[in-house]
Chains A and B, each alone.
Chain A
Amino acid sequence: MQLRTDLTTRAEQVAYLAGALDGLYAGPATPAPIRGGRRAALRRLRAFDARGYARTRNDVAKRGVSALSPYIRHGVLTLAEVRDSILSRFGHTPDTEKFVNELAWRAFWQLVYAQLGDRIHQDIEPAKQRARVARRRLPPEVIEAATGLVCIDESLHELYTTGYMHNHARMWVAAYLQHWLGVDWREGADLFYRHLLDGDPASNSLSWQWVGSTFSHKPYIFNRQNVERFSGGEFCARCPLASGGCPFDDSYENLALRLFGVSLAELEGRR
């Protein structure tokens, strides 16, 4: 079936595509705030200021990140041209070197995908530690962004409404689903893949495996202190569980014991 290419306004295009692709998508027929296309990609590249990246990239509130991933994932910008642009405009600094190092993660995942193909969707290695919580299916409150935990819900809400989630929030959500809730990483990865504009088989499945320790040497965990520090305290300030019942409010030593039944040293493979 031939699709129309002559509609000029975004509103017309949205209304048209909603019908033309009926049956091929789930959820509401609303576009993302992020625009597709090379022109939008170049504007985003121009707008990204790499100065301070190393310091602010992990901060989900400060957002010192580029938001270029949807364009890179779809080949609208290549890794090489993004690297060249950033290095030529901002020079060689710890910030630009960190940024290029992050670009290299994508290059690495792509190489693994080229080698393993669809096997990246299965455990690549045995898990180094398994969470003790009983296995369960993806609970409805995750699908509805209504877990009651502000850091998780707002991250999920952003994913569902914009198609983007900050890297650090992706790590929190992936760890929460796997290690606290006992959800199989494939179900979490599937949820992300369906909503992310940058949803990529390799970067997504392999990152979930990295968090779960089937493609890394230890499971990734985080605690409340980490959330507070990298969100400027914003999430916890608004969270009803901040004064009691926060499942992340513990030391790493206690979390290792609670979640995996091992010491932190064991969890980290130091023993």
Chain B
Amino acid sequence: MNGAVVWLHGDSLSPTDPALLANPVAPAIFVFDEPFLAAAQLSFKRLFFLYECALEAIAGRTGSIRRGVVVEEVRAFAAEQQATAVHVTASVAPRFRQYVAELRASGLQVVVHELPAFVTWRGEPPRRFSSFWRRVAAEALRPTGTGPVLPAEHDVE
């Protein structure tokens, strides 16, 4: 057992998710977080949007979309796939950090991937956007490439 699975969450739900790109053939899972959603009662629109994003993100590989307790479902999926490592892309949400800690405590290795940076920033942010902008504007306005390849004009629904 030394394989890896990719855990996708709502902050990085794309076929270009860095954890997916780093593991081009690994099985991937997305979980509708049952306790969280049962309490939050979001609109169906939002959940369906997530579903459409998740379907496209896992297309072309062994993929699973589930409803349940995130950490339990990811653990079960890793066991089914005989994987000991979970790859995931970073999120600033406190819930994400908690889930990573729980996965690690359960014995899984968790590898956290970073999103390509918009600007580099170390330490605490200032209290107001204006002072943030003053310090990052030059970097924010410097492109790092030409962006994704866009579909042709005639490609419509």
Contacts and interface: CB of A to CB of B under 8 A. Distances in A.
Interface of B: 10-17, 32, 34, 37-38, 40-53, 55-58, 63-68, 89, 92-94, 115-119, 121, 124-125, 127-129, 132-133, 136-137, 140-141, 143-148, 150-151, 153, 155-157
B51 A75 contact: no
B13 A101 contact: no
B45 A31 contact: yes
9 A-B pairs with the lowest CB-CB distances in the bound complex, closest first? A85-B147, A36-B52, A75-B12, A84-B147, A79-B118, A37-B56, A114-B92, A111-B125, A32-B45
Given A31-B48, A110-B92, A76 B53 contact: yes
Given A17-B51, A83-B143, A112-B125, A29 B44 contact: yes
Given A37-B55, A100-B141, A194-B43, A107 B68 contact: no
B32 to A, nearest CB: 6
Interface residues of A, number: 81
Given A32-B48, A45-B148, A83 B118 contact: yes
B44 A36 contact: no
A122 interface: no
Given A38-B16, A87-B143, A3 B66 contact: yes
Contacts of A141: none
A89 B150 CA distance: 11
B151 A46 contact: yes
Contacts of A23: 38
Contact of B144 (A24, A25, A84, A196): A84
Contact of B146 (A74, A88, A104): A88
